[in-house]
Amino acid sequence: MTRLQRVRTPSLTLEELLTQSAWFTALDESTRALVRAEASEHAVSQGESIGRYGEHQHAWYGVLEGLIKWSVTSADGRSITLGGQSVGSWFGEGSIIRDQPRQADLIALRHSRIAMIPHSTFAWLRRNSPVFNEFLLQQVNDRLHWFMGNYVAQHLLDTPSQVARALVGLVHPLLNPRGEMYLLLSQEELANLAAVSRQSCNSALSRFKSQGLIKSEYGGIVVLDLPGLQKLAQ
């Protein structure tokens, strides 16, 4: 009998995240040295927040390890999930650029490690680096279109399509710049990101497997047919 091998959890050092980020490698050497000197790392436990609705944000974030969920919860406890951030992605620029309180909660779905670029360093880069501003412009534009799609999905798509969209989101370059098709996440985490029940999520995944769109691996899901999932998610 073949034993399933545990897949190593994707994890980056702070230096690895920086050198794999297009915005960082486009900077000149002195600016890269400044970012290296100011960047820090922060560990977050499962269920812990790195930013709550209404709080002011003091850093720009990158994911070194784990999975971060964007969500908004109403006063009566209803919740809407806006998306998830995977290893290698950067996020939180909107709140800093607007200099306004956060409009969503950022919650770790599992133990995570976060890179932090201080607000002052982020602001300096915006004032002095055209290539950094170009990166931000593209990222904000991509994020706007993704969130618009999420709004449509939650109002018009059926449950399987919402699960498909959550999977597509996890391999989107904005949220998963490393382009990994193996997604190390549980069905419970996926249901959380898709904002559906775990039972409904499991049913959708079974359907996707029978259609050859995905397959299960130990501790995660492998996307086999991204165009097929994208078609379902529209």
Task: Write the pLDDT tens digit of every residue in 196-213.
Answer: 889 999 999 999 999 999
Strand, helix or coil at 126?
helix
Of all residues in the chain, the percent with pLDDT exceeding 70 is 94
Q: Name the CA dihedral angle for 176, 224, 194, 158, rounded to a multiple of 10 degrees.
A: 140
| Overall fold of domain 7-143 | Jelly Rolls (2.60.120)
Give which of 116, 120, 123 is closest to 64, Cα–Cα. 116
Q: Give dist(CA 143, CA 148) in Å, integer.
A: 8
CB 188 within 8 A of CB 220: no
CB 222 within 8 A of CB 182: yes
Task: Write the pLDDT tens digit of every residue in 130-185.
Answer: 999 999 999 988 888 777 777 677 777 788 988 998 888 888 776 677 777 878 77
CB 65 within 8 A of CB 11: yes
- Checking if the pLDDT of 12 tops 70, the result is yes
- Residue intervals in the chain for CATH 2.60.120.10: 7-143
Q: Quick one: CATH architecture of 157-234?
A: Orthogonal Bundle (1.10)
| pLDDT score recorded for residue 45 | 95
